[in-house]
Amino acid sequence: MVEKVVQTELSRTEYERLKEVSTRKKISLKEALRQAVEEWIRHQTPIDTDPLFRLEPKDTGVETDSSSLDKELYGRRQ
């Protein structure tokens, strides 16, 4: 995998807060920034592009009846 180097500027306050959190979590600044970028990308990516939400239902041959699901999960209510 070819990695790319990204450079940016932070205010002194941003840098100090980043350093404090990364030290507390015992990770490098590089790893902290990588995690921040991954999180930002997740928040900016529309949910319909997530492969999980593009799965088509599959017929397993098992019939289901959701009417008794609450009883099975939570027991009888009194």
pLDDT digits (tens, 9 = 90+) for 37-62: 999 998 998 888 878 888 888 888 87
Q: What is the dihedral of CA 12, 15, 17, 22, to 10 degrees?
A: -160
Residue 77: the pLDDT is 60
Band of residue 25 on the pLDDT scale cut at 50, 70, 90: very high
Q: How confident is the model at residue 1 (pLDDT cuts 50, 70, 90)?
A: confident
Q: Dig out the tokens for 49 from the structure.
A: 């592009």
Task: Please give the structure tokens belonging to residue 17.
Answer: 């807060």
Domain positions in the chain: 9-52
Could you tell me the pTM of the whole model?
0.59
> What does R_g of the chain's alpha carbons equal in angstroms?
23
pLDDT over 80 at 67, yes or no = no
The maximal CA–CA distance of the chain, rounded, in angstroms, is: 62
Average pLDDT along the chain: 88
Measured CA to CA, the distance from residue 19 to residue 68 in angstroms comes to: 52
Tokens of 74: 């939570």
